[in-house]
Amino acid sequence: MTARDEILARLRTALADDPPPVQVPRRYRRVDERPDLIGTLVDRLVDYRAIVHRGIDALPRLLGGIDRLAVPTDIPADWLAGYAGQLHRDAPPLSAATLDELDAVLTGCAVAVADTGTIILDAGPTQGRRALTLVPDRHICVVRTDQVVGLLPEAVSRLDPRAPQTWISGPSATSDIELNRVEGVHGPRRLEVVLVGSGS
């Protein structure tokens, strides 16, 4: 008998009694009924060291200090109103080397989770591809208030499980063995969120 045969025989023996599947209780909350989801989201984002701005009118001021900006091809024109720097649209796709030389990227998002302060991108409208948001050192993300949900189950129900997803909870950060925090290792060192009304 080979080692493979012996392992398979043991597996068959262990599974011979065919125990019934274990029922997993799923009584967790699926909908958040807190009245101030936006306030909760802002608290979590600030706690994660993200910078939060309110209103679409914050964009011209933010973009005014950026010389080289990357954007998805379908970015709304009003988000770029008055921008006078070098605009790099991601069509054809910008190389990683080019993205690394740019000052910032401006995108939208798919959904934001107030309870965890998480912003989720799924390569949908105004978001672009994953590399576009992971390589530049600064990510400015526009979040509409109607994209904010309270809990993770609510967010997951809005997402296509087949789409490439990027879940962002603050600027990229990690800690070494001595627990020294280092930012910008696996993505942007700086995350700025612009919260706008659902009609913007």
Q: Is the predicted pLDDT of residue 9 greater than 70, yes or no? A: yes
Phi/psi for 105 (5° steps) reads: -130, 145
Does a structural domain hold residue 161? yes
Pairing of strands 104-107, 138-144: parallel
Give me the mean pLDDT over the 35-51 stretch: 93
Distance of CA 197 to the CA centre of its chain: 19
What pTM was estimated for this model as a whole? 0.82
For the stretch 113-144, pLDDT in tens is 999 999 999 999 999 999 999 999 999 999 99
Say if 5 falls within a structural domain: no
pLDDT, average across residues 176-194? 77
pLDDT at 2: 93
Q: How buried is residue 87: exposed, middle or buried, by Cβ count under 10 Å (0-12/13-18/19+)?
A: middle
Residue 192 lies in a domain: yes
Question: Does 105 fall in a domain?
Answer: yes
Give the residues across from 117 on adjacent strands: none
How high is the pLDDT of residue 82?
86
The stretch 153-167 carries a mean pLDDT of 94
Q: Identify which of 72, 87, 79 has the alpha carbon closest to the alpha carbon of residue 58.
A: 79
Q: Report if residue 166 sits inside a domain.
A: yes
Given a contact cutoff of 8 angstroms between Cβ atoms, the answer to whether 96 and 134 are in contact is no
- Structural domain includes residue 22: no
Provide the domain count of the chain.
1
Residue 188 is part of which domain span? Answer: 34-196
Q: Is residue 146 part of a domain?
A: yes
Give the confidence band of 34 by pLDDT, cuts at 50, 70, 90.
Answer: confident
CA 78 – CA 80 distance, rounded (Å): 5
pLDDT of 61 higher than 70: yes
Q: What is the CATH number of the domain that holds 79?
A: 3.40.50.10420
Q: Which of 91, 87, 82, 81 is nearest to 69 (CA)?
A: 87
Q: Is there a domain that residue 63 lies in?
A: yes
